[in-house]
Amino acid sequence: MSSIKMFVNSLIGENTYIVYDNSGECAIIDPGMYTAFDQNQVVNFIRNNDLRPTILLNTHCHYDHVLGNKFIFDNYGLKPQFNKGELELLLAAPAWTAEMGIQYEPSPLPEVFLPETGTVTFGQTTFELIFAPGHSPAHLCFYNKKKNFLVGGDVLFRRSIGRTDFPGGSHELLISNIHEKLFTLPEDCTVYPGHGPETTIGFEKRNNPFLT
């Protein structure tokens, strides 16, 4: 059965996730590690649990979610996988980070792009792909049906939603995707967002001021 571990990174509190199962294989999702502390907590968790990273996933390619892509590639040989519609954001990350004074080692480019629908599998774990742009042009969420949890990136937060004022953002599209694609998941589905604490679909249906 799949398990999930969250790491909160030093820079603007971005959440990196490791999803792993009894096979020992694991996926690294949205590596936003910026400091040595951020890097070490991920490496130590992988080592201490005898895990084998086999896939690197990005929900989307805003700089804070890809800061650690190069670090993961250097340590585990994994190139990122995301929807091709996010490539422009990845290529813009060096300019964004330079403007903010953030040190950024450019991410390797994908060899595999993820489709808008379908599945991603590693070890004994399968994610269903949910295409939910609005915060970014081609944002994907990863749903584990067996354990009923969603790695949601910056689509839906506890009592909030992703901002839509970046290039390629659309408030109307984000709201409709949340209602049509996320709110159709089970009420007790746990949502692990790109920032902040976990929540559930049912809680957000009843308590999210942007969506009620």
3-state SS, residue 10 = coil
Protein fold of 3-207: Metallo-beta-lactamase; Chain A (3.60.15)
Summarised one tens digit per residue, pLDDT across range 14-52 is 999 999 999 999 999 999 999 999 999 999 999 999 999
Summarised one tens digit per residue, pLDDT across range 83-132 is 999 999 999 999 999 999 999 999 999 999 999 999 999 999 999 999 99
Rounded Cα–Cα distance for residues 184 and 173 (Å):
16
Q: 145: closest CA among 131, 127, 119?
A: 127
Give Cα separations from 212 to 25, 136, 152, 160 (angstroms). Answer: 39, 22, 19, 11
Q: 152: closest CA among 45, 55, 30, 38?
A: 30
3-state SS, residue 188 = coil
Percent of the chain with pLDDT over 90: 97
Per-residue model confidence (pLDDT) at position 33: 96
Specify the amino acid at residue 41: Q
Band (pLDDT 50/70/90 cuts) for residue 1 is: confident
3-state SS, residue 53 = strand
Collect all residues with Cβ–Cβ distance below 8 Å to 84 and sequence separation of at least 6. Answer: 113, 138
> Is pLDDT above 90 for 54?
yes
Segment 164-184 shows an average pLDDT of 96
Rounded Cα–Cα distance for residues 146 and 125 (Å):
9
The DSSP bridge partners found for residue 18 are: 5, 28
Collect all residues with Cβ–Cβ distance below 8 Å to 86 and sequence separation of at least 6. Answer: 58, 60, 61, 136, 137, 138, 139
3-state SS, residue 44 = helix
> Is pLDDT above 90 for 136?
yes
Q: What is the mean pLDDT of the chain?
A: 97
Specify the amino acid at residue 72: I
Per-residue model confidence (pLDDT) at position 123: 98
